Amino acid sequence: MEPVLAIENLSKSFGANHVLQNINFELHRGESIAILGKSGIGKSVLAKCIVRLFEPDAGNIKIFGKDLLTASEAELSFLRQKVGYLFQGSALYDSMSVRENLEFALRYAPFVSSQSDVDELVIEALTNVGLEDTIDSMPAELSGGMRKRLGLARTLISKPEIILYDEPTTGLDPVTSREISELILTLQHKYATSALIITHDLACVAITADKVKLLYNGVFYAEGTFEELADSTDPVIKSFFQYDQKRWL
């Protein structure tokens, strides 16, 4: 089966800092892969290369078999409609209400033909994340966890087939982090999306990931299931899994 996302020999440097070096991996339909690594190691750089917020120095990025780096503007626009991106800080528009934030995400959606379509999708998105009562609130009135939920709703409302989650639980308390992780898993199953989860949160990885790739010194140092990596005796891998295992469950 052809992967929905394929990364081939991807490299990215900032001056003498070689952040990514010949990165290769595939994401298949319905699969969830977590990219695990310490803060500042290059996980978010990888995600931003995939959506062309950063231009890689070398390599190929293929979405549904089409090379993103050589695509025409029309092809690039079409491919971007298939990819959702949940920003680390949710990237909400503070001057817009909850409703307006979601409506803005639908401005180029090809399946929306009327205001009634928009209204229906907004209600569906908010119901999915348990925020239907906040529809006329402003982002500043929401808690950190609610803002994350709204960011997730805005990402999903345009019906992407692939979702990139950039540190989806950062800045949240453990209980809220778990709720967000479980919500990601629930919505992935509901909409049959493929997910790439960029994180250093072991609990999030344990809940959401089918497969884990450990980014270390610009390369994928190891990969496997969460359990396989957690049981590893390799000192580099163990350094990521030295916390109380009860926090992962």
Residue 59, Cα to own-chain centre: how many angstroms?
21
Return the higher-pLDDT residue of 224 and 200.
Answer: 224
Average pLDDT (50-59) is 90
Q: CA distances (Å), 158 to each of 84, 121, 183, in order?
A: 8, 9, 17
Cβ atoms of residues 42 and 86 within 8 Å: no
pTM over cut 0.85: yes
Report pLDDT digits (tens) over 19-46: 999 999 999 999 999 999 888 888 889 9
Task: Compute the average pLDDT of residues 99-114.
Answer: 84
Q: What is the mean pLDDT of residues 91-115?
A: 86
Instruction: Provide the Cα torsion 9, 15, 19, 22; round to 10°.
Output: 10
Domains, the chain, in order of start with CATH, read: 1-82+160-244 (3.40.50.300), 89-159 (no CATH)
Give CA–CA dist 81/222, Å, rounded.
31
Q: How far is CA 114 from the centre of its chain?
A: 29
Give residue-wise pLDDT tens across range 204-237.
999 999 999 999 999 999 999 999 999 999 999 9
**Which residue from 29, 52, 10 is spatially nearest to 162, judged by alpha carbons?**
29
Q: Is the pLDDT of residue 249 over 70?
A: no
